[in-house]
């Protein structure tokens, strides 16, 4: 296992150097309308069909823990997402899309590219899916928080609940992400990017629904989503303070 970690770290370093300019490949000419959301091709399909090893995934997580933290809780300021307890299907899709240049994330790309094959994706995703969701995460805490959460709940119940569920549990089968326990700032940033056409691997139905929301409405939805809790899936794991 130690040799595996060393090999991965060396591979990651090589990828970082090789892709310094630009940091990640970009699939030019591919936009939201051109990329089928549910397409299962190549390593993505292979990884989804394989049984992941949580034991091996825990070793692979050495690549990720410095940013996402040992708990998988990320950063409360929203700069690093909370990934503990996320559906393995969602994690596999996002990692594969980043590796393929279908989701632009220059910071994440070298780490995702250091994974060697579909089995690595399946193992890492299985490990993360098995982690509990930290209760302590970045929530909207301004003076109008109660009103924003109430406004966000009304909007969420109208169009978000059908896919993301009453508690923000998402769907493993349909690859709809868990949003309960996610940082408010991260949710707001991602929804804004999806609305503005800057996240190229977004679900077209999500794009259609979210396109009509203004900034205030996205803030309210994010405030409500970050307040959601999935019973039986959470734990007390202290997250670091927001970056100054």
Name residues of the chain where pLDDT drops below 70: 1-41, 238-244
Domain 2-134 and domain 145-233 have a common topology: yes
Helix axis angle for 118-129 and 42-49, nearest 10°, is 50
pLDDT for the residue numbered 28? 33
pLDDT score at 42: 81
Q: How far apart are CA 80 and CA 67, in angstroms?
A: 7
Residue ranges in the chain assigned as alpha helix (H): 2-18, 42-49, 54-60, 65-68, 88-100, 109-113, 118-129, 145-155, 161-164, 184-195, 204-210, 215-225
How far apart (Å, rounded) are the C-alpha atoms in residues 95 and 100?
Answer: 9
Pick the CATH number of 2-134 from 3.30.470.20, 3.90.1150.10, 1.10.760.10, 3.40.50.720: 1.10.760.10
pLDDT at res. 30? 34
Q: What integer pLDDT is reported at residue 237 of this predicted model? A: 79
Q: What is residue 1's predicted lDDT score, i.e. its pLDDT?
A: 53
Cα–Cα dist 157/161, whole Å: 5
Q: Model-level pTM? A: 0.84
Q: Which helix (H) or strand (E) holds 235?
A: strand 234-235
**Exposure string for 96-134, b = 16+ CB within 10 A, e = fewer:** bbbbbbbbbbeebbbbbbbbeebbbbbbbbbbbbebbbb
31-82 pLDDT, tens digit each: 334 444 555 568 899 999 999 999 999 999 999 999 999 999 999 999 999 9
Best CA proximity match to 218, nearest among 197, 194, 242, 182: 194
Distance CA 207, CA 117 (A): 30
Domain boundaries, the chain: 2-134, 145-233
Q: What is the CA radius of gyration of the chain?
A: 18
**Per-residue pLDDT at 39:** 58
User: How many other C-beta atoms can be found within 10 angstroms of the C-beta atom of residue 89?
Assistant: 21
User: CATH for 145-233?
Assistant: 1.10.760.10
Cα–Cα nearest to 183, from 60, 68, 93: 68
Whole-number Å distance between alpha carbons of 116 and 192: 32
Tokens describing residue 94? 């996002």
């Amino acid at each position: 296992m130690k040799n595996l970690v060393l090999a991965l770290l060396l591979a990651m370093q090589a990828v970082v150097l090789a892709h310094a300019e630009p940091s990640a490949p970009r699939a030019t000419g591919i936009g939201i309308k051109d990329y089928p959301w549910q397409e299962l091709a190549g390593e993505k399909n292979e990884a989804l069909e394989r049984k992941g090893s949580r034991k091996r995934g825990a070793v692979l997580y050495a690549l990720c823990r410095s940013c996402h933290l040992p708990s998988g809780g990320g950063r409360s300021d929203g700069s690093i997402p909370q990934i503990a307890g996320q559906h393995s299907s969602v994690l596999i899709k996002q990692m594969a899309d980043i590796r393929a240049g279908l989701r632009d994330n220059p910071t994440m790309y070298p780490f995702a590219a250091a994974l060697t094959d579909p089995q690595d994706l399946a193992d890492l995703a299985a490990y993360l899916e098995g982690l509990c969701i930290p209760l302590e995460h970045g929530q909207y805490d301004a003076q109008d928080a109660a009103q924003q959460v109430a406004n966000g709940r009304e909007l969420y119940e109208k169009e978000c609940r059908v896919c993301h569920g009453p508690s923000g549990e998402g769907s493993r089968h349909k690859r709809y992400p868990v949003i309960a326990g996610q940082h408010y700032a991260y949710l707001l940033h991602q929804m804004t990017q999806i609305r503005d056409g800057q996240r190229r691997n977004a679900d077209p139905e999500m794009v259609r629904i979210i396109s009509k929301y203004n900034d205030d409405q996205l803030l309210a939805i994010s405030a409500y989503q970050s307040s959601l809790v999935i019973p039986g899936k959470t734990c007390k794991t202290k997250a670091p303070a927001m970056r100054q």
